[in-house]
Structure 1
Amino acid sequence: MPWLWLVGAIAAEVAATVSLKFTEGFTRLLPSVLVVICYGTAFYLLSQTLSRGMPLGVAYGVWAASGVALLALIGAFFLGESLTWVQIVGVFLVVGGVLALEMGGQAGHA
């Protein structure tokens, strides 16, 4: 089940990127260690996703789009960052593009 591996990769990448915000230029030890561990975990889980048959374009597209969307929401709701309507539309366009990639791939194999 490559999708479960991909969900784990997304969660690890989001955790790493949120932790990156708190490293203060890698001068704080705990968040810095979390960044390294979580990014390593994310890439390992993404590699497992690919080794279980998910196409590279789909896996990377879903991984990247999910990360962008989740980080924008986390930033807005938990980190006090702004999220304008233009940015919200941009996130929907990114997610829509990934969905088009996935649906286009399925139509090509049908």
Structure 2
Amino acid sequence: MTLGFTALVTAIVGEVAGTMSLRKATTGSKAWFVAVAGSYVFAFSMLSVSLAQGLPLGLAYGIWAAAGVALTAILSKVLFEEPLTPVMGAGIALIVGGVLLIQVGSAY
């Protein structure tokens, strides 16, 4: 895996951590907002590293957004007992399919 994709994966982890922390900050201790801010700064920093390493913006952002949506939905189900219905699963699959089409389309 190239440095660009490694940075993208860490950006995804940071963004999902920030979103999970945001959920905790709005329902619990306000101290979680520190984790929210730090996670988002980290995520955007790593996204910029992936772009600086040559990943196309459309591809990097598409993967980042799709993975973020999917992981957030799954972790919300596990950690916060929020719904994850078959229709939501189909939506996640469509998002992933859309990102794959963007990647395939960029080869032309």
TM-score (norm. length: structure 2): 0.93
Whether contact under 8 Å (1:26, 1:32) holds in the other structure is no
Q: Which residue of the partner structure matches residue 15 of structure 1?
A: 17
Give, in whole Å, the separation in 1 of the partners of 2:74 and 2:28.
24
2:63 pairs with 1:62: yes
Give the aligned partner of residue 42 of structure 1: 43
Matched length? 106
- CA distance in 2 between counterparts of 1:27 and 1:11 reads 22
Cα drift, residue 105 of structure 1: 1.1
Q: Distance in 1 between matches of 2:14 and 2:36?
A: 9
Identity, in percent, stands at 42
8 Å CA contact 1:58–1:102 kept in 2: the answer is yes
- Aligned partner of 2:26 in structure 1 is 24
Q: Which residue is 2:80 aligned to?
A: 79
Mapped to 2, the partners of 1:55 and 1:41 lie a distance apart of 20
Moved over 6 A (4+): none
Checking the alignment, whether the CA contact within 8 Å between 1:5 and 1:45 is kept in structure 2 is yes
The counterpart of 1:6, out of the listed 5, 8, 15, is 8
Distance (whole Å) between structure 2 residues aligned to residue 56 and residue 25 of structure 1: 34
Gaps of 5+ in 1: none
Distance in 2 (CA, whole Å) between partners of 1:103 and 1:42 is: 25
Q: How far 1:78 moved relative to its partner?
A: 2.0
Structure 2 gap segments, 5+ residues each = none
Which amino acid letter does the alignment assign opposite residue 6 of structure 2?
Answer: L
